[in-house]
């Protein structure tokens, strides 16, 4: 049952994580060609590209804050639009640079809460309620089909991380009434300082139902933590491939 006014052919995806989801490298000319069927829910008010907080507009990088760049969500949106040529794609950016996993936990206030503001006015105790509010607003227009997650640098090697992410996903799926909407999680930069965390990333399909992994194999970085522009484009394609596979499996059940 979709909310009144929601369009079933407007496919929504939540973008969760920290700086690699928001994107670090500056976009290039090829990244700035818009597709009117790919839209983004404004992360903040800005003039270029024109955005209003919590309002839909045509997607263009950066999808997140002014200090962000090209992220995987940009190419992901284009790939999903190509896969659904008669439909629209809606991106709901909810990543925050530098945050730890506790920022997203329901009913938890991160010990690092004071370090990172939550848009638009930092009024939220934690990011979970912020994400939930934005997702529920998006649901008035379309249908949430899946979640993308790229985080772990701030929790590298923490054995509690998979279980914390499982609870976050369980809470979102329940509170948004989205059933077993697929989750795709990206690996951290191979050869980077947090590469060891990928062992925990790759445990997630066994920990969280309907989860798949977007590999970072062969992708390059601009430093020891962040992907470069070419890597972000390829990562976005890999996210889309995994999401389309998951949605196809789900559709075959009905």
Q: Tens of pLDDT along 19-76?
A: 999 999 999 999 999 999 999 999 999 888 889 999 999 999 999 998 899 999 999 9
- pLDDT at site 50: 83
Q: Give the domain ranges of the chain.
A: 10-251
Give the Å distances, CA to CA, from 114 to 16, 67, 221, 234: 19, 19, 29, 34
Contact predicate 105/167, CB 8 Å: yes
- The whole-model pTM stands at 0.96
Mean pLDDT in residue range 73-82: 98
Fold of 10-251: Rossmann fold (3.40.50)
- Burial bucket for residue 135 (CB in 10 Å: 0-12, 13-18, 19+): buried
**Rounded mean pLDDT, 127-156:** 98
- Collapsed DSSP state (helix, strand, coil) of residue 3: coil
Query: Higher confidence at residue 4 or residue 87?
Result: 87
């Amino acid at each position: 049952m979709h909310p009144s006014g929601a369009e079933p052919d407007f496919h929504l995806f939540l973008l969760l994580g920290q700086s690699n989801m928001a994107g670090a490298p500056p976009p290039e000319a090829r990244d700035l060609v818009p597709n009117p069927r790919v839209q983004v829910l404004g992360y903040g008010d800005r003039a270029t590209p024109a955005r209003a907080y919590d309002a839909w507009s045509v997607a263009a990088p950066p999808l997140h804050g002014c200090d962000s760049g090209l992220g995987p969500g940009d190419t992901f949106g284009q790939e999903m639009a190509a896969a659904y040529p008669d439909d629209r794609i809606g991106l709901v950016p909810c990543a925050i640079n530098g945050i730890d996993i506790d920022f997203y936990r329901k009913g938890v206030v991160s010990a690092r809460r004071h370090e990172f503001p939550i848009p638009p006015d930092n009024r939220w105790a934690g990011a979970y309620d912020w994400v939930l509010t934005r997702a529920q607003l998006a649901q008035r227009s379309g249908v949430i089909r899946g979640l993308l997650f790229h985080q772990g640098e701030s929790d590298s090697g923490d054995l509690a991380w998979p279980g914390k992410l499982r609870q976050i996903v369980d809470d979102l799926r329940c509170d948004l009434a989205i059933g077993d909407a697929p989750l795709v999680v990206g690996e951290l930069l191979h050869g980077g300082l947090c590469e060891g965390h990928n062992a925990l990333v790759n445990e997630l399909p066994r920990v969280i139902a309907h989860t798949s992994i977007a590999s970072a194999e062969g992708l390059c970085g601009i430093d020891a933590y962040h992907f470069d522009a070419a890597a972000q484009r390829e990562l976005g394609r890999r996210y889309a491939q995994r999401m389309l596979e998951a949605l196809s499996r789900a559709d075959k059940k009905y």
